[in-house]
Structure 1
Amino acid sequence: MKSHQLKLYNTLSRSKEDFKAIKPPFVGLYVCGPTVYGDAHLGHARPAITFDTVNRYLTYLGYKVRYVRNITDVGHLQGDADEGEDKIAKKAKLEQLEPMEIAQQYTDSYHRDMALLNTWKPNIEPRATGHIPEQIELVESILKEGLAYEVNGSVYFDTLKYNEITPYGRLSGRVIDELMSGSRDLDGQSEKRNSVDFALWKNAAPEHLMKWNSPWGVGFPGWHLECTAMSSKYLGTQFDIHGGGMDLMFPHHECEIAQGNACNHKDPANYWMHNNMITINGQKMGKSLGNFITLQELFTGNHKLLEQAYNPMTIRYFILTAHYRSTLDFSNDALQAAQKGYKKLINGLRIAKMLFFDEADAAIDEEQVKQVENSIAAAFRAMDDDFNTAQAIGHLFNLLKKINSIYTGQLSAGVFGKEVFDKLVGTYIQFVEDILGLTEEKSDSQNGMINLMLKLYHEAKTARDYAKVDEIRAGLKDLGFVVKDMKDKIDWAYEE
């Protein structure tokens, strides 16, 4: 295993803590996945890329990561206070389909978009509907502990009674007295004893589409229950990292902590990580504001707020240029800047893979060696410090300057010595591809086309047919490529 002292920001303690590996070095990572009742949007992209990068970096360091990401396909209600329709069931009624058809349709589209963003598949991707027995068993356990109550076929978590044993609100910083005073007066309109109680199991009305038999009658699980049931099944009652968006901190993750403590008398996870929210042109994303953008709309440019289409790697790069705990504002200007940055890195990736060390040029320059080693060390320190991809990318650009200088002949590879040259090239490639997960978006057919055009360009230049030279150069530029006339060869690059 590579020796790195990782520090993770733990939302529960609101501080950075040393990450202590379990021996053998196994890491349990659980991330709340999507509720599959619509196409994946920007809000889905950020946690997917954030925790994909966490997974990638831990794996790079030598940890054996078991990455579990759930699919919510039942129990997420439309309204507040555990009322309203299940989101998937509502969509199924609108489209006159079976609920599981809706769930499968949008699960498939989510997987398609995550693949385009080059996120690794989770090791396990459980569905809420596939774990109904485990959820029922969990409700029974909480009832036995005396921390839940049953009313008319529904079961609710007794938050006030739990709070007498373990403080409720530790993750989000909420105080239960303030939650009580801030909640609407139930006035006998609800089955719940207190407004802060939440549903573990809901009695299903006859017209409800998704329902199962239980000891309390026909019903369906509450939204918060699924993650406790599935994380404990696949990672144990206490695992390493629980991740998700900041919008899930309260009430979803707060309820998970309560459920875990009620059943197992300990917090479910040692570290809680939350990525911050996405805004669009400074506004919160929402359908009512007309700024709700799906990933497919981004990839095709088919949205009124978009000036152009943005490829998946531009979106991935843009998300990585901000620390995951900072807010992230999408705008055309910001995305176009990210597109240029991505192309610079990828041009460097192409070059790095072509460079080679010539022993005949070896003449070590200690200052150049020091600059490379300092940039490499700084990039890893950034990742070790709570996965700060934004800072790491900045240090990668310092390495890119050296790679470009070798490529253009301003620097000889020999000034670094064989060991440091290999380290420079190898680190750059590993960071771009393996850790940041950025790939070159060019097909084999494109590669053949570019090579053919460069051959024709070389022939036209040799024949001094400058009109043809300009025509080929302009044609490649229209396709997003620029011709580079080097001293000893003709090459190309992505237009930045």
Structure 2
Amino acid sequence: MITMKHKSQLKIYNTLSRTKEIFEPLSPPFVGMYVCGPTVYGDAHLGHGRPAITFDTVYRYLTHLGMKVRYVRNITDVGHLQGDADEGEDKIAKKAKLEQLEPMEVAQQYTDSYHRDMLALNTIKPSIEPRATGHIPEQIALVQGILKEGLAYEVNGSVYFDVLKYNETRQYGKLSGRVLEELVSGSRDLDGQSEKRNAVDFALWKNAAPEHLMKWDSPWGTGFPGWHLECTAMSSKYLGKQFDIHGGGMDLMFPHHECEIAQGNACNHQDPAKYWMHNNMITINGQKMGKSLGNFITLQELFTGKHDLLGQAYSPMTIRYFILTAHYRSTLDFSNDALRAAQKGYKKIINGLRIAKGLVFEADNDVEVDEKQAQQVEQIIANAYRAMDDDFNTAQAIGHLFNILKKINSIYTGQLNAGQLGKEVFEKMIDTFVVFVEEILGLQEEKPDHQEGLLEVLLKLYTDAKLAKNYGKVDEIRSALKTMGIIVKDMKDKIDWAYEE
């Protein structure tokens, strides 16, 4: 691994304060980061891909800066009810009934497929990946603690968080900006239809009907945990009562994360996380993604191209690159045109990576360092880091990488002599490009099966045919390589190749 010294002044946009704040870990150099993972009742889709790549990049950059990160991302395998509500059927149990499987079979099947897709996207495995069903005792203990504080009540074997009581001394809604009075008035039509004292209250533990598939014994009877409770139990177990970063999609801000803050304050008397990060939503051709709209696209459908809205298959690295070309807090619109442009951009970067790794410092004796050129390179490198330090702005960082790539290509084609930069700046430029592409952005070369051996043979035949002036054979081999997505590059002193952009 290439290591580089960079003194960071990292700023993170904290949803809680609605400002960018200088990142100061609670116990440097250690960083605790909790990210809400998937509810495993279906194949991973674009909405799973964006937060996974976003927080993988956060993890990678913090690690690059020398921080020791414990990254916890959970698996929700119980308690997430239809409509994200406190009533209705468990999403996993419903799928199990439809497919005539045990709920844990469903959870395992889709956990495995999620891992497969995350591996394809080159995301690093989290340090810990706890499952909700593996932490029932911790969740029961949390409910008992909140009851002891007088901020919850039990009705018919279910336990609910008392939001109005909590709000007497604290602020429910401070993360999402919701005003409790407005929430209460907007939910009055539900009064009398529920066993809750108030419609804004949320379930900590639900009594299970006899036919309910997933249930456990508790002090209040047989039941199952509330969706919001799981994350509080698992984050506090592995990261402590307060940790550095809590991440997730913007759709989780309310009520999920809001409820986590309430639970954390109720039982631990402090906010669970110092910094709250939320990635924005994705749209498909300008529309919100949804099964009813026919634009619901899974990651596997993207990788194979098997969806009516897709003009072709898009590789995992094309998807990763595309997601990184937008700032994580901006809306991201998927379309065939945008994905094709991303495919081209990704291949430019990977062609540059191949060139960068092959370049060695060679300077003519009569070449002097061009201070202007050297300073330009130093500035571009500083700009790339400045972009990442500004709330992980990968979109701007990629723009600066292309500026570095222009310099690398100029040396590769002989327009610029490496000696004009000086050995130190040259090596810093190459190292920066490689580190950003591979370590920070997590992009990797996607090689077609058996490519290297076949390429070697075809390029040797191409070279021999050219030397023999057999131009018919030259054109034939060039055409064959193009069908593989490979372009032959005839250079002054050698023959090279690149991925077709």
- TM-score class, shorter-chain normalisation, is over 0.9
Question: Conserved in 2, the CA contact under 8 Å of 1:7 and 1:19?
Answer: yes
Counterpart for residue 339 of structure 2: 335
Question: Conserved in 2, the CA contact under 8 Å of 1:2 and 1:62?
Answer: no
Report the 3-state secondary structure (helix = DSSP H, G, I; strand = E; otherwise coil) of the residue aligned with 1:27: strand
* Aligned CA distance change for structure 1 residues 196 and 23 (closer, same or farther; 3 Å): closer
Counterpart for residue 436 of structure 2: 431
Aligned-partner Cα distance in 2 for 1:288–1:175: 31
Counterpart for residue 191 of structure 1: 195
CA deviation digits over 1:432-476, x for unaligned, max 9? 000000000015721111111111111111111111111111111
**One-letter code aligned to 1:434:** E
Counterpart for residue 12 of structure 1: 16
Alignment of 1:42-191 (within 5 A): 42-79=46-83, 81-191=85-195
Report the 3-state secondary structure (helix = DSSP H, G, I; strand = E; otherwise coil) of the residue aligned with 2:450: helix
CA deviation digits over 1:347-394, x for unaligned, max 9? 000000000012435521111101100000000000000000000000
Counterpart for residue 280 of structure 2: 276
CA shift at 1:213, angstroms? 0.1
Moved more, 463-472 or 76-85: 76-85
Aligned-partner Cα distance in 2 for 1:149–1:349: 59
Aligned-partner Cα distance in 1 for 2:138–2:480: 60
CA shift at 1:21, angstroms? 2.8
Moved more, 180-189 or 459-468: 180-189
Equivalent of 1:204 in 199, 204, 208? 208
**One-letter code aligned to 1:102:** V
Counterpart for residue 227 of structure 2: 223
Aligned-partner Cα distance in 2 for 1:447–1:412: 29
Residue 307, structure 1, aligned to residue 311, structure 2: yes
Aligned-partner Cα distance in 2 for 1:335–1:109: 23
Aligned-partner Cα distance in 1 for 2:309–2:362: 51
**One-letter code aligned to 2:19:** S
Counterpart for residue 453 of structure 2: 448
Equivalent of 1:244 in 228, 245, 248? 248
* Aligned CA distance change for structure 1 residues 444 and 94 (closer, same or farther; 3 Å): closer
CA shift at 1:2, angstroms? 4.0
Aligned-partner Cα distance in 1 for 2:32–2:218: 30
Aligned-partner Cα distance in 1 for 2:25–2:51: 23
The TM-score, its normalising length taken from structure 1, stands at 0.99
Aligned-partner Cα distance in 1 for 2:187–2:378: 56
Aligned-partner Cα distance in 1 for 2:467–2:185: 82
Report the 3-state secondary structure (helix = DSSP H, G, I; strand = E; otherwise coil) of the residue aligned with 2:459: helix
**One-letter code aligned to 2:192:** G
* Aligned CA distance change for structure 1 residues 47 and 334 (closer, same or farther; 3 Å): same
Aligned-partner Cα distance in 2 for 1:313–1:455: 29
Moved more, 338-347 or 357-366: 357-366
Aligned-partner Cα distance in 1 for 2:69–2:381: 24
CA shift at 1:187, angstroms? 3.8
Question: Conserved in 2, the CA contact under 8 Å of 1:142 and 1:262?
Answer: yes
Deviating 4+ runs (over 6 angstroms): none
5+ long unaligned stretches in structure 2: none
5+ long unaligned stretches in structure 1: none
Moved more, 14-23 or 370-379: 14-23
Aligned-partner Cα distance in 2 for 1:363–1:55: 41
Moved more, 459-468 or 398-407: 459-468
Residue 370, structure 1, aligned to residue 372, structure 2: no
Residue 495, structure 1, aligned to residue 500, structure 2: yes
**One-letter code aligned to 2:296:** F
Question: Conserved in 1, the CA contact under 8 Å of 2:280 and 2:329?
Answer: yes
Report the 3-state secondary structure (helix = DSSP H, G, I; strand = E; otherwise coil) of the residue aligned with 1:101: helix
CA deviation digits over 1:170-221, x for unaligned, max 9? 0000000111112252242211010100000000000000000000000000
Aligned-partner Cα distance in 2 for 1:481–1:184: 64
Question: Conserved in 1, the CA contact under 8 Å of 2:191 and 2:199?
Answer: no
Equivalent of 2:330 in 321, 326, 346? 326
Counterpart for residue 390 of structure 2: 385
Q: How many residue pairs get matched?
A: 496
Counterpart for residue 292 of structure 2: 288
Report the 3-state secondary structure (helix = DSSP H, G, I; strand = E; otherwise coil) of the residue aligned with 1:440: coil
Question: Alignment RMSD, CA only?
Answer: 1.0
Question: Conserved in 2, the CA contact under 8 Å of 1:12 and 1:272?
Answer: yes
Equivalent of 1:467 in 445, 466, 472? 472
Moved more, 99-108 or 18-27: 18-27
The TM-score, its normalising length taken from structure 2, stands at 0.98
Aligned-partner Cα distance in 2 for 1:424–1:111: 34
CA shift at 1:234, angstroms? 0.2
CA deviation digits over 1:289-323, x for unaligned, max 9? 00000000000000000000000000000000000
* Aligned CA distance change for structure 1 residues 334 and 162 (closer, same or farther; 3 Å): same
Aligned-partner Cα distance in 2 for 1:440–1:79: 40
Counterpart for residue 316 of structure 1: 320
Question: Conserved in 1, the CA contact under 8 Å of 2:191 and 2:198?
Answer: no
Question: Conserved in 1, the CA contact under 8 Å of 2:26 and 2:243?
Answer: no
Aligned-partner Cα distance in 2 for 1:19–1:109: 34
